[in-house]
Structure 1
Amino acid sequence: MEKIFENLMYSIRWLLAPIYLGLGLVLVALLVEFYQSIFYLITHVVEMGESEVTLKALSLIDVTLVGGLVVMVMYSGYENFVSKLDIKEGREKLSWLGKMDSGSLKAKVAASIVAISSIHLLKIFMDAGNIDNEKLKWYVLIHLTFVISAFGMGYLDYITKRQKS
C-alpha cells in the first residue's frame, strides 16, 4: 500500500508540466504586447516627446525582463520539479540549464523582480510631477521591500550553502 501511495505521489509531479507549458502561452502574450508597443512607438515617435519615448523604451525593457523571468521559471521549474529536459547533443543549450536548483531559482526570481520593480519605479519617477507624494513614498517603500526581501533570501541561501560545505 505504501509503495503504491509513494509511486502515485511521485507521479503527481507531472501535473505541473501543463502549468509550465502554460507559461509558454504567457510568452506569446508578452510577444504580442512587445510588438504592439514597438509598432506604436515607431508610428508615433515623431509626435512623442523624449520622455514619452524613454517611457515606452522602459516598458519594452520591462516586458523583456518579464519574458526572461518566465523562461527561467518555466525551464528551471520543470527541471527541478518534473523531469530533466533531454536536449539532443549538438543542439544549443542554455548555459544555466540543469545547474539551477530551487534555491538559485528563488534568488534569480527575486533579483528579476527587483530589476522589474526598478524599471517600474523609474517610469513613475519620470512622471513624478503628476503623482501625489504619498503615492511616490509607497512606490519607493514597496520597491525597497522587494530589495530587502531579495537580499534576505540571497543571504539565507548563502548561509545554507556555507553550512553544507
Structure 2
Amino acid sequence: MTKIESNSSTRGNEIEEEFLSFVLGDENYALDIMSVKEIRGYEAVTKIANAPAFVKGVLNLRGDIVPIVDLRIKFDIGQATYDEFTIVIMLSVSDRIVGVVVDAVSDVIKLSAQAILPPPEFGVSFNSRFLRGLATVENKMIILVNIAALIGSDELGLMDLNTTAGQE
C-alpha cells in the first residue's frame, strides 16, 4: 500500500500540475494526482447484482464501502485479468472513494497547461468528456483522464451503488 501526497508546483511563471501515469493495455494514461488516495494490489471484491460489467464490485476499505471500477472494461481495452500484479488506484472524487483497476502504475509526471492538448472529438463512437486532454512525455502519448467526469457520470451509477451498499 502506497500513500500519495503531492500538489502543483511552479517553475518560473509556469504552473505545473502533477499526474499519476498508468497503463491500460498498450496505452499510457494519467489522472490528477490530487485525487489519488492510495495505490493497492487487487483483492477479491463483493459483487453487486445488476451492476454494469465494468463495476467489479465493492470492498470495505477501513469502514468505507468502495466501488471498484475496471477501466480496461470501461474503456473496452482488451481482456481483463486479475493477478498479483493488478493494481487498484483508490481515488477520492467529490467526497466519494472509488477504486479503479489498471494494469500498472508508471510514474508521477509534471505537466504545464501548455503541454496539455485538448482532447480530439471522436464523434459518437467514443465520448471524449472523460478525457481531459493529451500530452507527450518522453516520446509517449499520454491520455489524461478526467476522472471527476468519469466517476460522476450517470452511466457509471456509483451514486446508486454507494446508496445501496450503505443500506445493507
TM-score, length-normalised on structure 2?
A: 0.30
Q: Which has the higher helix share?
A: 1
TM-score, length-normalised on structure 1?
A: 0.30
